[in-house]
Chain A
Amino acid sequence: MKSFLASFFFIVLFFFCLLFFTAKPVSHVQGNEDERPLQNPIAVQKQAEAIQKQSLSVVKSAIRQPKLSNVAFQTYLKTAVKSLPTFDQVRDAAKNSHDTPEIILNAGALIGGVADQMKNDANNIQPGLNFFKFCAQNESIVESIRAVCLRTLVDISSKYRNNVRVTFADYPDDIQRMARHIPRLR
């Protein structure tokens, strides 16, 4: 009886820990200081590669499965937040700087994937808008991707939430200048 109670206690403890560490809310997507890349270039590159691998698989599965469940969408957002490339990550990933590094193209696909899911389910609209806002505001993210997020935020917010006006003017000059060069999303 004693050993049964001990086992029961540990099982409950295990599930409690599991829930506690995995069920963080993502409706208000925020950057985490701890997620900043290490300064060691090799570590930065390895971290970037690992994140890219993860984000690639998420994007690929999302593209194959156009409508994600709310839970799956939250996982998607979590991965997307981690995958938004920093200045250092792009610099280190750009072995061939002549063309756009894959890390940037993949981030573009991830951002668009959020917009796709917003179109599919109204419950995804607010978390999606929060994601774009976080991305456009976050100074650690490379400027070109912040500009894509801003363009998407401005166009998508006017599409879904006409009462909340998001303007380029709320964002730094260099980001809004770049965002204005991107064609309007339809």
Chain B
Amino acid sequence: MLKLAVISLITLFISACGIKNAADAGTSPYGNGVPSDPLASATMKGTPSTVLPGITYDVTVPNDQRALIEADFDTLNSLNITDSSDAEVLGINDFRTATLKRWLLDRTKYIVGESYNSKVLVRVAQSNYDYGSVGIADQVNEDDYDPNVRIVTLMSNLGAAKYLNGKDSSQLLSMGVNGGYISVTTPRIGLEQLAEGHFTANRVPGTELGSLTNRLLRLAVYFHEGRHTDGNSDNTAMPHKVCTSGTYYKKAACEGNSNGPYAVELALLKKFPNQCRGCTYSEISTINAKIADKQSRMINPRYSDPTPVRNL
């Protein structure tokens, strides 16, 4: 029971939203033609990103959100970051557009929408699956999870969360995307869930969702979530840490890795005010507020090995 609670909390750590339970097999939400054996599926009928081919949108992503995400990705093309300080946080040598695109593409493969139903679309593909000998460290207390708090979904690395769920129960899970199934053998399957909150929570008041500042704010979040596909052994998915003081005291909203998700997001955000050409002080100061907030979450961070779990 305690173990289940701990894993649930770790799921919460690496996601911006509530816990979605791993589900057992059910009827296919995609109707006839979907392989009964989830592992047998190889091809998906997804909608690939035109800006970052290699990323596939699930049918659950609404068109308007997809258009905004595409615009966010396209913003990478207009960046001109010459200052390479903090590049080591991402494990790269520079912040050139090509480098950033490669980094993101390595870690993001699928984007699913808010209506993605984990209870139906996450299946047990294999029981008694051998994940290797290393377990998941107990890093949190049960007290940290409050089931009564309504959590608004922003964006979460659902693939990494399901990998941890599966590992804990020694089951190989698979996740449905666009009629096919992906085996969750590593957090690097790169499946992220995105909800409307992602757009409303990363917005300068009174500005259009598609404004440059809002695109930059959201772009940093994609990199944050991307980092959750990294790490191994007891640092798999590079989970957040429970804050020991400050505004987020006792919440899993702090960073213990100097190269973890918040650190990655912070490194990018620090570059963005100078990229916000034509932006008002009001817009730049909104980015700065986010920088200060993320900085306040860094608690004695140490460098961690970001090598991802290999595909078994």
A interface list, Cβ under 8 A from B: 56, 59-64, 66, 87, 90-91, 94-102, 104-113, 115-116, 119, 142-145, 147-148, 151-152, 178-179, 181-183, 185-186
Q: Which chain A residues lie closer than 8 Å to B206 at the CB level?
A: 56, 59-64, 109
**7 shortest interchain CB distances as A-B pairs:** A108-B289, A112-B285, A60-B206, A112-B282, A144-B292, A115-B281, A112-B281
Whether B39 is near chain A, meaning CB under 8 Å from some CB there, is no
List the B residue with the shortest CB-CB distance to A144.
Answer: B292
Residues of B near any A CB (own CB < 8 A):
15-17, 149-152, 154, 197, 201-207, 221, 240, 246-249, 251-253, 270, 273-274, 280-296
Residues of A close to B202: CB separation below 8 A: 99, 105
Decide if A104 touches B290 in the complex (CB within 8 Å): yes
Assess the A102–B280 pair: CB atoms within 8 A: no
Contact B247 A145 (CB under 8 A): no
Q: Which residues of A contact B293 (CB under 8 A)?
A: 100-101, 104, 144
B282-A144 in contact (CB<8A): no
Interface of A is mostly: helix
- Known A142-B247, A144-B292, A145-B289; contact A185-B205, beta-carbon cutoff 8 A: no
Residue on B nearest A150 in the bound complex, by CB: B292
Residue of B152, B204, B274, B288 touching A148 (CB-CB under 8 A): B288
In whole angstroms, how far apart are the Cα atoms of A61 and B15 in the complex? 34
Q: How many angstroms between the C-alpha atoms of A91 and B206 in the bound complex? A: 24
Chain B residues with CB under 8 Å of A110's CB are: 282
Given A94-B248, A109-B204; A144-B280 close (CB under 8 Å): no
* A96 and B151 within 8 A (CB): yes
B residues in contact with A106, CB < 8 Å: 205
Set A97, A111, A119: member contacting B289, Cβ < 8 A? A111
A142 to B206, CA, bound (A): 23
The listed residue (B150, B151, B274, B291) touching A182 by CB distance below 8 A is B291
Using A96-B152, A181-B291 as known contacts, list a sample of 6 further A-B pairs with CB atoms less than 8 Å apart, ordered by residue number in A: A99-B16, A105-B290, A112-B284, A143-B247, A144-B296, A152-B285
Please name the residue on chain A nearest to B151 by beta carbon: A96
Question: Which residue of chain B is the closest to A106 with respect to CB atoms?
Answer: B205
Query: Is B290 a contact of A108 with CB atoms below 8 Å?
Result: yes
Closest CB in chain B relative to A80 CB, distance in Å: 11
Report B-chain residues with C-beta under 8 Å of the C-beta of A119.
281
Q: Which residues of chain A have C-beta atoms less than 8 A from B16's C-beta?
A: 96, 98-99
The answer to whether A181 touches B295, judged by C-beta atoms less than 8 angstroms apart, is: yes
**Chain A residues with Cβ under 8 A from B152's Cβ?**
95-96
On chain B, the residues within 8 Å of A101 by CB distance are 293
Q: Which of A59, A96, A111, A151: most chain B Cβ within 10 A?
A: A96
CA distance A185 to B281 in the complex (A): 8
Provide the bound-state CA to CA distance between A142 and B294, in Å: 13
Residue in chain A with minimal CB distance to B221: A99
Please pick, from A63, A66, A96, A145, the residue contacting B292 in the complex, using a CB distance under 8 A.
A145
Q: Are A94 and B251 in contact (CB under 8 A)?
A: yes
Smallest CB–CB gap between A172 and chain B, Å?
14
The docked-state distance in angstroms from the alpha carbon of A152 to that of B282 is 11
Ordered by A's residue number, 10 sampled pairs between the chains whose C-beta atoms are within 8 Å are A94-B247, A105-B204, A106-B205, A110-B282, A112-B281, A112-B288, A113-B281, A143-B246, A152-B281, A186-B274
